[in-house]
């Protein structure tokens, strides 16, 4: 026990020291799902990649047609809660941290979480990231999941069939409510957020970033990472049938960095945009996936 504690102390402080010197991450090529209209997605069956086949077989106990039927039923129920495109397109099925951000980065955060650092998945939806980490062996007591909608979290128990064995810490609430997650202020070492910031315009994205910064630990090496929809030409989507009046802002790498730097200059920001090549978006840009890993320098 003592040697494990000591090895964790050494590992984590060495990792923090390395991060304060700023580590350059390399992320794998991003696999984008096919480009389809929403109504086309809704009649599609999920494409289950090798990682998800293994995960659902081993963690959930489902494979083949049974798994397909199960996922379609969960999507039907989730779509009744709120009509998110990422739910329609089964984004949650194959999304896992190792494949999205690379083994180096995943090993790094996994060891830190295993050594007691606190991880928060903000706007967690079903809680698939908490399951991703727990399935790989991370201690669930170091993982917190937060979302506006408790219905998604409840559907997660149905999706992962783990109500009796998964005791994840879930906090329901609105990130714009200043009292929400207040008890966690200054305590989060690693924060993940996926398909979330892009739901808002730039001023609201900055408001969320300010809130995230309050949640984060002051130690150099503290990490914020995630993904969202991006565009080679930054674009404010003005009319959106599913988000009337809220505005969705799609960043490219430069505009994302500039937005963050306006909030604080104490962090190193690495961003990767993988645009779709097959077609131009309505603003003349190419939309795609924007991934980011942001590390506190001081």
Ligand X SMILES: C[S@@+](CC[C@H](N)C(=O)[O-])C[C@H]1O[C@@H](n2cnc3c(N)ncnc32)[C@H](O)[C@@H]1O
* Nearest distance from C-beta of residue 204 to ligand X, angstroms: 9
* Residues of this chain that bind ligand X (CB under 6 A): 84, 86, 91-92, 123-125, 147-149, 152, 174-176, 194-196
Of 80 and 266, CB closest to ligand X: 80
Rounded to the nearest angstrom, the gap between the alpha carbon of residue 58 and the centroid of all alpha carbons in its chain is 22
Compute the C-alpha angle 192/197/203, nearest 5°: 130
Of 148 and 233, CB closest to ligand X: 148
* Nearest distance from C-beta of residue 13 to ligand X, angstroms: 31
Q: Are 246 and 201 contacting, i.e. CB atoms less than 8 angstroms apart?
A: yes
Compute the C-alpha angle 139/140/144, nearest 5°: 130
The two three-digit tokens of residue 17, written as one number? 């020291």
Rounded distance between C-alpha atoms, residue 176 and residue 29, angstroms: 33
* Nearest distance from C-beta of residue 297 to ligand X, angstroms: 26
Nearest residue (beta carbon) to ligand X: 125
* Nearest distance from C-beta of residue 149 to ligand X, angstroms: 4
Expressed in angstroms, the distance from the first to the final Cα of the chain is 32
Of 174 and 266, CB closest to ligand X: 174
Residue keyed to tokens 């430069």 = 254
Of 210, 192, 202, 199, the residue nearest 259 (C-alpha): 202
Of 158, 46, 144, the residue nearest 94 (C-alpha): 46
* Nearest distance from C-beta of residue 157 to ligand X, angstroms: 15
Of 170 and 260, CB closest to ligand X: 170
Phi-psi region of 186 (alpha: psi -120 to 50; beta: other; left: phi over 0): left
Of 175 and 212, CB closest to ligand X: 175
Of 15 and 215, CB closest to ligand X: 215
* Nearest distance from C-beta of residue 217 to ligand X, angstroms: 21
The alpha carbon torsion through 206, 212, 218, 219 (nearest 10 deg) reads: -110
Of 16 and 131, CB closest to ligand X: 131
* Nearest distance from C-beta of residue 242 to ligand X, angstroms: 10
């Amino acid at each position: 026990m003592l040697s494990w504690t000591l090895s964790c102390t050494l590992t984590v402080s060495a990792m923090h020291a390395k991060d304060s010197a700023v580590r350059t991450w390399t992320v794998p090529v991003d696999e984008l799902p096919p480009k389809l209209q929403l109504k086309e997605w809704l009649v599609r069956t999920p494409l289950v990649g090798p990682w998800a086949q293994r995960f659902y077989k081993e963690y959930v106990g489902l494979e083949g047609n049974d798994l397909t039927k199960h996922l379609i039923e969960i999507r039907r129920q989730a779509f009744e809660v709120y009509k998110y495109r990422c739910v329609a397109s089964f984004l949650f099925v194959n999304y896992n941290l190792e494949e999205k951000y690379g083994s180096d980065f995943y090993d790094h955060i996994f060891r830190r979480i295993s050594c007691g650092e606190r991880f928060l998945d903000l706007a967690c939806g079903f809680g698939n990231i908490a399951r991703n980490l727990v399935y790989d062996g991370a201690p669930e007591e170091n993982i917190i999941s937060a979302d506006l909608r408790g219905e998604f979290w409840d559907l997660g128990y149905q999706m992962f069939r783990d109500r009796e064995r998964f005791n994840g810490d879930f906090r329901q609430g609105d990130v714009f409510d200043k009292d929400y997650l207040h008890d966690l202020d200054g305590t989060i070492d690693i924060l993940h957020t996926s398909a979330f910031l892009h739901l808002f315009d730039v001023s609201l994205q900055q408001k969320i970033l300010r809130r995230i910064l309050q949640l984060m630990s002051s130690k150099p090496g503290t990490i914020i990472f995630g993904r969202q929809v991006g565009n080679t030409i930054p674009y404010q989507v003005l009319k959106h049938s599913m988000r009337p009046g809220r505005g969705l802002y799609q960043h490219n790498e430069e505009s994302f960095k500039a937005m963050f730097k306006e909030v604080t200059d104490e962090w190193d920001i690495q961003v990767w945009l993988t645009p779709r090549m097959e077609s131009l978006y309505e603003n003349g840009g190419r939309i795609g996936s924007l991934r980011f890993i942001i590390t506190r320098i001081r």
